């Protein structure tokens, strides 16, 4: 069932984004009197799943779910078939793309990117209007943070309170992670207890190659909220349930005699003892109880902790319809800047390993259909699609823009053969990248690292 949910969310999200992106090309082309011969969601090579001609345009859905296209008469693009090639050998007709002024053709080419940008901002605005924004402020982390193993090696400790990142006041733990990974922050100030129990501030200088280390370790969560481990439920079918000795409300305090008063401590204590028995010490109604239980092959025993909301005060922001518009644009702009900044990470070997295809995107949507998460992820992909499409690579919108700018400056069009060969090279490059990233996804899925 989870596979269907993953696939369903991805297909719906991509269909919305691709269809509206192509509509961004289609609409100005029609307004400027260009003949649009095809409008396809996904590529129809080698065949179309569905197609229907309405007026002068064939609308359809292709069999290759890697994008989509509009075929505009007289334009050198990914739809270059025999008919289009033959047309390019003749003088341009008034309704052809190449017959129109450069400024009109530029508007057509940036139309898709423009729609994706506006769509991403609009979705974020509507998410804020409908659901608002709930977050856990770093100052409300009563028990401090639980750093990842990598962050501990950098000098962080369990229970640290993060107060400053490179001179900035972080709002959430997510902001802290983004500052380190994307913005290159290298100095974090924390508050921690000294030997007498008094709070003191300490500055932690991160390694110069910390971004590379994060990517190499695939460290998805640098810091998580630290909270006590009270049992909320015992999961049926797991080893904890088989003992019959755990109850809701039990406070876990130790594993094999070593303190594990916080949930993260317990997780760390048992995950290294797969298929082994451990003794869990808990407090129940003022009494200490010891329960032997087996850790399964996945490193869990089957105890569900109380939700973090039971321990922390979350902040909630609500937005009116008018108020959500500037807030959505501001939030989307920040996500867009983060997206652009993350491209520099692809220059490293570890960064290249993080590239993902359709499987990675479907995983990002989550195993459960939650509309808020669906729209947030779709908004993120819309902005990412805009950034990718404006790159100056032949076969992408940015590649067409480069040739049009050349024509505007040189006052003459580029050689049609150069355009055609560049388009072919661009398509080969893009297909190679698509095959590589999706193949990488399959490898990671088989090896369990996705």
Distances (CA, A) of 239 to 236, 251, 254, 293, 394: 8, 18, 18, 7, 57
Q: Tell me: the pLDDT tens digits for 331-347? A: 999 999 888 887 777 66
In this structure, of 207-216, 366-375, 419-428, the range with the lowest mean pLDDT score is 419-428
Q: Tell me: the pLDDT tens digits for 230-243? A: 999 999 989 999 99
- Residues, the chain: 450
Number of other CB atoms surrounding residue 374 within 10 Å: 19
pLDDT at 57 over 80: yes
> How confident is the model over 420-435, as a mean pLDDT?
82
Does 82 or 391 have the greater pLDDT score? Answer: 391
What's the mean pLDDT when you consider all of the chain?
A: 89
280, HSE (Cβ side, Cα atoms, 13 Å): 35
In this structure, of 22-36, 345-359, 395-409, the range with the lowest mean pLDDT score is 345-359
Residue 443 confidence (pLDDT): 75
In this structure, of 177-181, 273-277, 343-347, the range with the lowest mean pLDDT score is 343-347
> In sequence order, which residues have a C-beta less than 8 Å from that of residue 357 and are 6 or more positions away?
434, 437, 438, 439, 440, 441
Sheet strands side by side (includes 258-259): 258-259, 251-255, 277-284, 287-294
Residue 358 confidence (pLDDT): 81
Distance from C-alpha of 142 to C-alpha of 310, rounded to nearest angstrom: 12
pLDDT band at 418 (very low <50, low <70, confident <90, very high): confident
* Domains located in the chain, CATH noted: 2-128+377-447 (no CATH), 138-224 (2.30.42), 231-309 (2.30.42.10)
Does 412 or 450 have the greater pLDDT score? Answer: 412
pLDDT at 45 over 80: no
> How confident is the model over 247-273, as a mean pLDDT?
92
Between the ranges 185-189, 295-299, 351-355, where is the mean pLDDT highest? 185-189
Distances (CA, A) of 317 to 131, 327, 350, 395, 403: 9, 11, 37, 42, 46
Q: Tell me: the pLDDT tens digits for 358-409? A: 888 888 898 889 999 999 999 999 999 999 899 898 888 999 899 999 989 9
pLDDT at 82 over 70: no
pLDDT at 79 over 60: no
> How confident is the model over 87-104, as a mean pLDDT?
86
Distance from C-alpha of 268 to C-alpha of 307, rounded to nearest angstrom: 19
pLDDT at 219 over 70: yes
Q: What angle do CA 195, 198, 202 make, to 5 degrees?
A: 85
Between the ranges 20-24, 88-92, 391-395, 438-442, where is the mean pLDDT highest? 20-24
Distance from C-alpha of 385 to C-alpha of 18, rounded to nearest angstrom: 9
Between the ranges 125-129, 138-142, 358-362, 429-433, where is the mean pLDDT highest? 125-129
- pTM here is 0.84
Q: Tell me: the pLDDT tens digits for 295-333? A: 998 888 999 999 888 899 999 999 999 999 999 999 999
pLDDT at 80 over 60: no
pLDDT band at 75 (very low <50, low <70, confident <90, very high): confident
Residue 366 confidence (pLDDT): 87
In this structure, of 6-15, 89-98, 177-186, 325-334, the range with the lowest mean pLDDT score is 89-98
Residue 59 confidence (pLDDT): 94
Residue 2 confidence (pLDDT): 82
> How confident is the model over 108-115, as a mean pLDDT?
96
Distance from C-alpha of 190 to C-alpha of 144, rounded to nearest angstrom: 10
> In sequence order, which residues have a C-beta less than 8 Å from that of residue 247 and are 6 or more positions away?
231, 234, 284
Residue 359 confidence (pLDDT): 84
pLDDT at 81 over 70: no
pLDDT at 353 over 70: no
Segment (H or E) for 227: none
Residue 112 confidence (pLDDT): 95
> How confident is the model over 138-160, as a mean pLDDT?
94
> How confident is the model over 350-362, as a mean pLDDT?
74
């Amino acid at each position: 069932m989870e596979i269907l949910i993953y696939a369903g969310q991805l297909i719906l999200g991509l269909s919305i984004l691709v269809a509206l992106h192509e509509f961004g090309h289609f609409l100005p082309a029609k307004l400027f009197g260009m003949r649009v011969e095809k409008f396809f969601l996904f590529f129809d090579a080698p065949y179309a799943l569905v197609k229907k001609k309405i007026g002068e345009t064939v609308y359809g859905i292709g069999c290759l779910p890697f994008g989509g296209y509009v075929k505009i008469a007289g334009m050198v693009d990914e739809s270059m078939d025999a008919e289009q090639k033959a047309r390019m050998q003749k003088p341009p007709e008034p309704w052809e793309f190449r017959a129109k002024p450069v400024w009109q053709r530029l508007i057509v080419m940036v139309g898709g990117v423009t729609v994706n940008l506006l769509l991403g901002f609009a979705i974020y605005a509507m998410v804020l209007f409908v659901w608002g924004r709930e977050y856990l402020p770093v100052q409300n982390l009563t028990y401090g943070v639980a750093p990842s193993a990598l962050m501990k090696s950098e000098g962080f400790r369990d229970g640290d309170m993060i107060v400053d990142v490179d001179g900035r006041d972080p709002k959430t733990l997510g902001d802290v992670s983004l500052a380190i990974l994307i913005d290159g922050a290298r100095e974090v100030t924390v508050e921690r207890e000294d030997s007498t129990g008094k709070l003191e501030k300490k500055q932690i200088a991160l390694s110069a190659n910390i971004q590379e280390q994060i990517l190499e370790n695939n460290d998805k969560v640098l810091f998580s909220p630290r909270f006590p481990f009270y049992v909320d439920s015992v999961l049926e079918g797991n080893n904890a349930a088989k003992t019959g000795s755990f109850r809701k409300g039990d406070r876990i305090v130790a594993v094999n005699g070593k303190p594990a008063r916080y949930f993260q401590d317990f997780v760390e204590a048992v995950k290294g003892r797969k298929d082994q028995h451990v003794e869990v010490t808990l407090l129940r109604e003022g009494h200490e109880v010891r329960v032997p239980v087996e850790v399964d092959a996945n490193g869990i025993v089957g105890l569900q902790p109380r939700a973090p909301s039971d321990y922390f005060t979350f902040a909630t922001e609500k937005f009116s319809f008018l108020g959500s518009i500037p807030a959505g644009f501001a939030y989307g702009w920040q996500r867009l800047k983060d997206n652009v900044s993350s491209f520099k990470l692809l220059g490293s070997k570890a960064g290249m390993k993080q590239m993902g295809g359709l499987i990675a995107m479907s995983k990002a949507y989550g195993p459960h259909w939650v509309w808020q998460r669906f729209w947030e992820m779709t908004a993120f992909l819309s902005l990412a699609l805009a950034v990718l499409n404006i790159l100056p690579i032949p076969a992408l919108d940015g590649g067409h823009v480069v040739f049009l700018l050349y024509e505007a400056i040189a006052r003459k069009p580029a050689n049609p053969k150069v355009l055609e060969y560049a388009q072919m090279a661009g398509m080969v490059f893009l297909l190679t990248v698509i095959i590589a990233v999706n193949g990488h996804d399959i490898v990671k899925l088989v090896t369990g690292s996705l």
